[in-house]
Structure 1
Amino acid sequence: MKLASFNQSGFPALAIVQESVDGPKVLPVTSWAATEDMTCSVSMRDVLQDWTYWKGRFNELRSEAKPEHWLSAADIDIVAPVPNPGSLIGIGQNYADHASEPGIPRPSEPVIFAKHPSCVVGPGSGIILPDSSQEVDYGAELAIVIGQPAFHADDSEARDAIAGYTIMNDVTARDWQSRTSQWMAAKSFPSFGPMGPLMVTADELGCAENLRISLSVNGVPRQDSATSQMIFGVVDLVRHISSVWPLSPGDVILSGTPAGAGSTLQPATFLRAGDVVEVSIEGIGVLMNHVSTTGGSHRTRTSHTSNRSITSLQTGASLR
């Protein structure tokens, strides 16, 4: 199942995404209000808090829907599929091709760091370059969305805790990252967590073991790899993190970035205002964001960027 969040008068409403001959269509996900004979919109956070119920309900909603209930994807403003994650957890140095680059050690266990959840923005939004950094870098990542509590999980419990997957760009101020041994500040500036365009449920992608993942800047390829290159797979990551603290529905785990980050190129090449960054993951879609300065708008979406983001929902299954 493919799910997207969209802006409904300021509320991040959830919708089912389905392809059609007329282009992608979306079906808003609703629930009956408790005290009135009416329906109300629900968010991804609402759904993840009761994932066991909702993952079985989506097919029913789709089969019950009338044609007029489906909206054209081009007419909605999509936002990050999990716009307010409870925790945003990063994993460093988790691709074999990345760990083979000069100066990048191969870890013996997952390298865990945090990004502040406030850095999350959706597809088409601007990546804002802070005045205090001259070395803002990109990083294509498969993100794991948690839908069940997990604490000291075994492999089976860790697998069951995964609701689905989305795309993230782990934007990092490398000059800030080198200042201290802690990475959170470098990775948490506003807009440093682009996410989207949708979440694909785990029943479609399984353990995401061999998906092509790539990133381009202004159409020029920078990263091109596959999730089979991950040193620690998605189940390993959920199990390991849950051995330290409880994971909760709505938490998001970034699973690492492959070789080709700007800081590893010769010479190092960082993002500049006007750049267009696209992250593609097979079976999920394309996450596109423009780069701008602090003088620009935090939301640089136009009708073109919105349509570009939603069009990627249609092509996401054929990126390999």
Structure 2
Amino acid sequence: MKLTSFEVNGKASWGAVVDGGLVDLGKRLSEFTDLRSLIAADGFANAKAALASAKPDYALDKVRLLPVIPNPDKIICVGLNYADHVVETKREKTEDPALFVRFPNSQMGHLEPMLVPPESSHLDYEGEIAVIIGKGGRRIKEAQAYDHVAGFSCYNDGSIRDLQWATTQWTTGKNFPATGAFGPWMTTTDEVPANSLLTLVTRLNGKEMQRATTDMMVHSIPRLIAFISVFTELVPGDVIVTGTPGGVGGRKNPPLFMKDGDIVEIEVDKVGVLRSPVKAEKV
């Protein structure tokens, strides 16, 4: 299934993408208040049953897509997780994953604008694969890690580079409003089995900037889940953003940052394409 969160006529709901349309499962399965609560209750069988005889309620272009999980307990992002990105940043591979956090209010959904703030013109793209946790746990074994995954999505971990690089801590440059694009939906693990080889591509104004496959990760998805769950309990709906490959704009010569009027796309095969127009923030 392809599940997402959305808003129509000012009301938030969640549903499934089918045949180019959207089935509002929020109104059919009122016991689940949002997509996160469905995941927490392992209600995927209920969703499938509701879809069996349902027709789309809305065309996709008639709703506002929200971040797939608008209200995660936590978003944990991984840095330096592809060898070519480690090389271009002139850093060294780390024995353990390099982690930082992103706040939920910095996210936006598919087709929502990524905002270049007036404080900086250094907004960079970072195409990534997002993992949505289905079953929570602490000290999860690497061999069982995929049992804790609900699905996969596309993510653009937009970074305000000058503020990110101003100190050794990355929080400031990673949490400006409307810089974390998440969507357009999550594809559940019944369609993306454990250890599937996924391809990630980033395009800026139609030109390919990044391309990588999950077997190129320094720390695999199971390794990330196992490591993260040692220091914090993962809960359903948590999002792990698994790292960006080489090709980011800030490391090009000359640097290439996103600007008002650009279009950036993140594509993950077996999932879909996350598209974001870039706009200058108006203050």
Per the shorter chain, which TM-score range? over 0.9
Residue aligning to 2:25: 29
Mark the runs of 5 or more structure 2 residues left unpaired by the alignment. Answer: none
Q: Is the 8 A contact 2:133 2:235 kept in 1?
A: yes
TM-score when normalising by structure 2: 0.93
1:227 pairs with one of 189, 192, 214: 214
1:122 is displaced (CA, Å) by: 0.5
Partner SS for 1:97? helix
Q: Per-residue displacement from partner, 1:36-72 (whole Å, max 9, x unpaired)?
A: xxx5774212212212xx1222221122x244x6543
**Deviation beyond 6 Å, 4+ runs, structure 1:** none
Does residue 149 of the first structure (1) align with residue 140 of the second (2)?
no
Partner SS for 2:146? helix
Greater fraction of residues in helix: 1
1:48 pairs with one of 27, 34, 39: 39
Q: Per-residue displacement from partner, 1:273-297 (whole Å, max 9, x unpaired)?
A: 111111111011111111111218x
Q: Which residues in structure 2 correspond to 1:230-249 (within 5 Å)?
A: 230-249=217-236
Give the whole-Å Cα distance in 2 for the aligned partners of 1:193 and 1:8. 21
Residue aligning to 1:58: 47
2:263 pairs with one of 261, 264, 276: 276
Q: Is the 8 A contact 1:223 1:258 kept in 2?
A: yes
Mark the runs of 5 or more structure 1 residues left unpaired by the alignment. Answer: 34-38, 297-320
Q: Per-residue displacement from partner, 1:136-190 (whole Å, max 9, x unpaired)?
A: 1110000011121110111244222111111110111111111211111110000
TM-score when normalising by structure 1: 0.83
Give 2:21's aligned amino acid.
K
1:102 is displaced (CA, Å) by: 5.2
Give the whole-Å Cα distance in 1 for the aligned partners of 2:61 and 2:161. 36
Give the whole-Å Cα distance in 2 for the aligned partners of 1:46 and 1:96. 36
Give the whole-Å Cα distance in 1 for the aligned partners of 2:54 and 2:88. 53
Q: Is the 8 A contact 1:209 1:228 kept in 2?
A: no
Give the paired residue count. Answer: 283
Residue aligning to 2:273: 286
Does residue 264 of the first structure (1) align with residue 264 of the second (2)?
no
Partner SS for 2:137? coil
Q: Is the 8 A contact 1:97 1:229 kept in 2?
A: no
Give the whole-Å Cα distance in 2 for the aligned partners of 1:206 and 1:120. 27
Partner SS for 1:203? coil
Residue aligning to 1:308: none
Partner SS for 1:257? coil
Give the whole-Å Cα distance in 1 for the aligned partners of 2:145 and 2:162. 35
Give 2:240's aligned amino acid.
I
1:230 is displaced (CA, Å) by: 0.9
